[in-house]
Amino acid sequence: MGALHVNEQNFEAEVTKSDMAVLIDFWAEWCGPCRMMSPVIDAIADELKGKIKVVKVNIDEASGLAEQYNVMSIPTLAVVKRGEVVDVFVGAMPKEALITKLQKYV
């Protein structure tokens, strides 16, 4: 199934009001490293299902969210817990490294 695609309409319900920690992948179609990370993000969404919610935000379609979260370069991965950003990772990384970074939030 992979990550859930969210936009400005469903962001609050899916992210801000989520009971579990949420990993947000800020990405764009034209971004090479983002496309490289896409299968990694989807795999993590499936692997950590029920422990951490994984969503994707296309910054071209939801520029307001990118602005709200101060996304300066992509891919930017933000961890949100109870509506607050608790961690941010910028750039592509191996799946194992990302899972290690997420362990404290699951």
8 Å CB contact between 23 and 88: no
Is residue 57 classed exposed, middle or buried when 0-12, 13-18 and 19+ CB atoms within 10 A define those classes? Answer: buried
Nearest Cα to Cα of residue 23 among 62, 2, 68: 2
Q: Which residues are catalytic?
A: 31, 34
Nearest Cα to Cα of residue 49 among 105, 100, 103, 3: 3
Is residue 29 classed exposed, middle or buried when 0-12, 13-18 and 19+ CB atoms within 10 A define those classes? Answer: exposed
